[in-house]
């Protein structure tokens, strides 16, 4: 058995599935041994009468700091070339998909916090790393996916408070949405770390080299922080979660799947039939605009209520919805990969045919140009060449001189035998003289 090859495959599998593994481990530990998680969650501080968990807040800031560190300016410039994808991705995530929350909030789930949690997930922006990974595996435009992720998370800071206020208005959910406080919290925990990370990358070459060299590790560390948030939230609500009927969890999973599928169908119908986007941009926009960030949902939950038990119940739809998106996305990747591969192959063939046609046209055009350029000179040139060959004064003179010398030699050989040239000599002389005469005749 090739152990190095097997080890490399297992390592790749671990990296690819690290989100699922870390979430599963976090949930398992939280539900079976919640004491450590509750202890970490109890480390808090208060601002204006509102309690904030220190470790969880740091986890959120680390996630967005890494997001800023990994954001390349070149990727942003490349993504901006696809204005249609960027515009629709932003519009769908921040203005269209939240409307589904008005339908979800009417579904009577037990406990009611599940319904509130589902409703809340419609208002949040796109996932931080999962969507980009899916787009990469599907052969989509990764730069566009990254632009959509970062952009919607930054702009979402300003749109989420408005949507949450609208979605929970007139409901029985015990949630108080202070838009100003929520906006300030999101600015501090999301925007500030992202800007710091991006600034460090652009202004500090050693940081940029470190990020480039350890990109995979940073991605795993970001996912670890997300799982750490899940562990704390579920630990805080463990005593309530274990008492909830299992059928409620099943309903949450099914509704989360339905929510994601509705988003996928709606977004891909628009990008494919209405906008007719190229395959790589189509895949990137369709997948990313259908994603909703579980970690951002959990962060928002922490900002709208200080009750750790309620936080855990509200977080269940966010956590399960994140896992559902991973499973559905993983099933969708092979089809999208074949779609983008066919498109890229067709583009390559078309480019090769266009290059061949251009080369053939260039050759034909060059030949036609040469023919038209030399058309008026070819016949006179040929006549002149023939004339030069016929009347070149050097050639007749040489021919006549050769004939005279040959005739003289023949006559000298004929004299000893007779005073009259032999018939053979005469014929030879006549033949040579005739040839000479023929050569001289043009001159005459």
The answer to whether 182 and 304 are in contact (CB under 8 A) is yes
pLDDT along the chain (444 residues), means of 10: 84 84 89 90 77 85 88 79 87 95 92 92 88 86 86 90 89 74 84 91 92 90 88 86 88 95 95 90 93 88 84 90 90 91 90 87 77 57 43 41 42 41 38 38 36
**Contact (CB, 8 A) for 132 and 79:** no
Q: What is the pTM of this model?
A: 0.75
Whole-number pLDDT of residue 174: 62
pLDDT the model gives residue 184: 84
What integer pLDDT is reported at residue 437 of this predicted model? 34
Q: What is the pLDDT of residue 155?
A: 92
Q: Residue 260 has what pLDDT?
A: 96
Q: Which pLDDT does position 375 carry in this prediction?
A: 58
The predicted pLDDT at position 49 comes to 67
The pLDDT score that the predictor gives to residue 385 is 45
């Amino acid at each position: 058995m090739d152990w190095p090859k097997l080890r490399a495959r297992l390592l790749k599998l671990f990296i690819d599935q690290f989100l699922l593994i870390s979430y599963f481990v976090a949930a398992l530990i939280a539900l079976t041994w919640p004491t450590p998680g509750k202890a970490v969650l109890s480390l808090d501080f208060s601002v204006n009468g509102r309690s904030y968990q220190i470790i969880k807040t740091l986890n959120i800031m680390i996630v967005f700091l890494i997001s800023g560190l990994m954001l390349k300016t070149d990727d942003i410039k490349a993504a901006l070339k696809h204005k249609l994808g960027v515009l629709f991705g932003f519009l769908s995530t921040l203005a269209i998909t939240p409307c589904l929350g008005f339908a979800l909030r009417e579904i009577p789930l037990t406990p009611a916090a599940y319904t509130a949690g589902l409703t809340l997930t419609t208002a949040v922006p796109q996932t931080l790393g999962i969507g980009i990974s899916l787009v990469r595996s599907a052969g989509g435009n990764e730069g566009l996916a990254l632009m959509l992720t970062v952009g919607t998370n930054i702009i979402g800071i300003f749109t989420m408070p408005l949507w949450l206020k609208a979605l929970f208005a007139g409901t029985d959910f015990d949630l108080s949405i202070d838009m100003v406080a929520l906006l300030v919290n999101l600015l501090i925990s999301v925007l500030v770390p992202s800007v710091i990370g991006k600034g460090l990358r652009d202004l500090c070459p050693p940081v940029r080299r470190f990020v480039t060299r350890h990109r995979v590790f940073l991605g795993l560390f970001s996912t670890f922080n997300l799982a750490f948030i899940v562990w704390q939230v579920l630990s805080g609500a463990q005593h309530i979660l274990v008492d909830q009927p299992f059928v409620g969890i099943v309903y949450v999973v099914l509704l989360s799947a339905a929510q994601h599928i509705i988003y996928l169908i709606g977004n891909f119908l628009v990008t494919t039939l209405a906008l007719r986007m190229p395959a790589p941009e189509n895949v990137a926009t369709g997948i990313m605009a259908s994603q909703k960030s579980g970690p951002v949902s959990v962060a928002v939950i922490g900002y709208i209520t200080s009750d750790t038990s309620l936080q855990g119940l509200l977080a269940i739809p966010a956590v399960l919805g994140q896992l559902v998106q991973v499973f559905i996305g993983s099933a969708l990747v092979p089809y999208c990969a074949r779609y983008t591969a066919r498109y890229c192959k067709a583009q390559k063939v078309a480019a090769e045919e266009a290059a061949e046609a251009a080369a053939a046209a260039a050759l034909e055009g060059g030949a036609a140009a040469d023919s038209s350029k030399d058309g008026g000179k070819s016949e006179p040139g040929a006549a002149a060449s023939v004339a030069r060959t016929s009347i070149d004064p050097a050639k007749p003179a040489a021919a006549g001189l050769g004939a005279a010398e040959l005739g003289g030699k023949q006559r000298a050989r004929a004299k000893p035998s007779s005073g009259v040239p032999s018939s053979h000599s005469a014929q030879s002389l006549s033949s040579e003289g005739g040839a000479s005469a023929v050569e001289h005749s043009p001159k005459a």
